[in-house]
Amino acid sequence: MNNKLKDGIAVAGGPQKDRRRVTTLVEVEAAVVARDQLATTREDAVHSREGAVDLREEAAASREGEIRVGQALQAASDDHMLMLREANAHLIIANMEAQRLTEEVQAAKAQLEHAKSVAEKANLAKSDFLSSMSHELRTPLNAILGFTQLLEAGSPPPTPSQTVRLQQIVKAGWHLLELINEILDLATIESGKLSLSREPVSMSEVMLECQAMIEPQALQNDIRLTFLPFDHAWFAFADRTRVKQIFINLLSNAIKYNREHGTVEVKCTESTPGRLRLSIEDSGAGLSADKLAQLFQPFNRLGQEAGREEGTGIGLVVTKQLVDLMGGSIGVESTVGAGSVFWIELIRAVAPQLAIELVAPTELVTQTKGDAALRTLLYVEDNPANLMLVEHIIESQPHLRMLSACDGRLGIKLAHTHLPDVILMDIGLPEIGGFDALKLLREDPVTAHIPVLALSANAMPHDVAEGLEAGFFQYLTKPIKVKEFIDALNMALESTVAG
């Protein structure tokens, strides 16, 4: 293009020359425009290049940023990794620690269980020991009491001063016997060997017997006893002997821990439907709250140790355990200076039906003509209602006559002296229980052959199984089913004839 521009200027002159000049000018203008454009373009290019450089720089910067971010990320993830690893290590340690602790806890638990079983065994051994010990202690004590009484009543009669000394021996002996019996009771209850026979027990009847037993003591202590009338329809579902023991214990305490010329009031109410409450109110010193809290602990006499009254403090503990065993409850309300009310609640039972259908006696009379075949039944039972019932049943059996004993000891004595043909034995008995009585009868060669039938209110299958295993000829349960009862009696009698 530069060459063309030089040529144009060189040929200028004339009209043709003018036209050419114009043309050349136009061309020059165009060239200038083009140059300007070119310059602009070049500038643009420069700008672009600068932009590109900027971009490149930016890109470089951002790459650097990326690298830095990447590095930061790497560092961060390294940190996390480290933390994770550390945490993991902690977890492993914690886990091991937990495992160790678990093992320790398990070991401690095993140790505890072992200790518990050892303690239970020891407690059982203790109860067994106390129980056998008490039996052993009673035997020599019987001799002491027996011979002392013989001396008192013997001839020549003792001198007045000898009499006083003998009285001291007898008094101490009876007291010792009482203590031994209480310990024996507690040991028997604690070893779970106490056998209760729960059946309907007339509250008024039992209270009447207790009243007769306790009145001399009240008279001696100058305490006025008041018995509010009992409803004759009130029967408790309980063991008769034990109910009596509970009543006597509470009455005796009310007399003992009373003030001079004090009073005792006894009443029975139906506290809530289905429960009978017997309460015994005294006019004694009353008990403070902290003494009340210790009331049912064994060997705790609440500061009466130095007092005039003798005792072990076991009585109330035994009473509470007996009440608990019979499904009842015991409690006391007391006001210091005014007196205490001891109460027990027992489950109410429906009055037993004594009017039962009896088997026709005539048939049996013809079968047993004459008295050649008269056989003897000994019934050992502490509940008068049951005694009366069996007596009625036996009346319809002319070939039978009945002897009765109201406790195990007397039962064994009668068996030994009268040699009955068959024995009917209650299980829950005073002095010696049915099972122990059976054992003693079996051990004595004189009575070993007599069949013994158990008649008990303990009617659970395991009771029956235990009874048969112990050697009862049959185990009958209360209430008595007359037909079954007579069949069993006859079967027992036949077995003795055959033997």
Binding site for Mn ion (CB under 5 A): 197, 382, 426, 428
Q: Which residues contact 27 (CB under 8 A, 6 or more apart)?
A: 4, 5, 8
Residue 247: CB minimum distance to Mn ion, A = 15
Residue 427: CB minimum distance to Mn ion, A = 7
**160-190 helix and 315-325 helix, angle to the nearest 10 degrees:** 40
Q: How far apart are CA 441 and CA 416, in angstroms?
A: 8
Residue 136: CB minimum distance to Mn ion, A = 26
Nearer to Mn ion, 243 or 450 (CB): 243
Nearer to Mn ion, 31 or 440 (CB): 440
Strand partners, 276: 270, 346
Nearer to Mn ion, 281 or 426 (CB): 426
CB 482 within 8 A of CB 357: yes
Q: How far apart are CA 453 and CA 478, in angstroms?
A: 13
- Please state, in angstroms and as integers, the Cα–Cα distance from residue 226 to each residue in 236, 255, 287, 333, following that order: 21, 12, 22, 19
Q: How far apart are CA 216 and CA 255, in angstroms?
A: 11
Residue 240: CB minimum distance to Mn ion, A = 5
Residue 387: CB minimum distance to Mn ion, A = 10
Residue 390: CB minimum distance to Mn ion, A = 13
Q: How far apart are CA 385 and CA 352, in angstroms?
A: 9
DSSP 430: S
Nearer to Mn ion, 197 or 252 (CB): 197
Q: In the structure encoding, which two tokens stand for residue 26, read together?
A: 């136009």
Q: Which residue is nearest to Mn ion (CB)?
A: 428
Nearer to Mn ion, 241 or 252 (CB): 241
Q: How far apart are CA 172 and CA 160, in angstroms?
A: 19
Nearer to Mn ion, 185 or 281 (CB): 185
| Single-letter amino acid code for the residue at 365 | V
Q: In the structure encoding, which two tokens stand for residue 496, read together?
A: 């003795």
Nearer to Mn ion, 339 or 411 (CB): 411
Give ∠ CA 266-269-275 in degrees, rounded to 5. Answer: 125
Q: Which residues contact 286 (CB under 8 A, 6 or more apart)?
A: 334, 335, 336, 337, 338, 339, 340
CB 174 within 8 A of CB 107: no
Beta 452-456 vs 199-202: how paired, if at all? Answer: unpaired
| Single-letter amino acid code for the residue at 185 | D
Q: How far apart are CA 274 and CA 450, in angstroms?
A: 42
Nearer to Mn ion, 194 or 316 (CB): 194
- DSSP result, 3-36: HHHHHHHHT--SHHHHHHHHHHHHHHHHHHHHHH
Nearer to Mn ion, 331 or 430 (CB): 430
Helix (H) or strand (E) holding 161: helix 160-190
Residue 357: CB minimum distance to Mn ion, A = 24
Residue 430: CB minimum distance to Mn ion, A = 8
Task: Walk across the sheet containing 375-380 and list its strands.
Answer: 400-405, 375-380, 422-425, 452-456, 474-477
Residue 434: CB minimum distance to Mn ion, A = 8
CB 267 within 8 A of CB 229: no
Nearer to Mn ion, 240 or 320 (CB): 240
Strand partners, 452: 423
Nearer to Mn ion, 247 or 257 (CB): 247
DSSP 446: T
Nearer to Mn ion, 201 or 254 (CB): 201
Residue 382: CB minimum distance to Mn ion, A = 4
Residue 333: CB minimum distance to Mn ion, A = 31
Residue 236: CB minimum distance to Mn ion, A = 13
Q: How far apart are CA 246 and CA 280, in angstroms?
A: 12
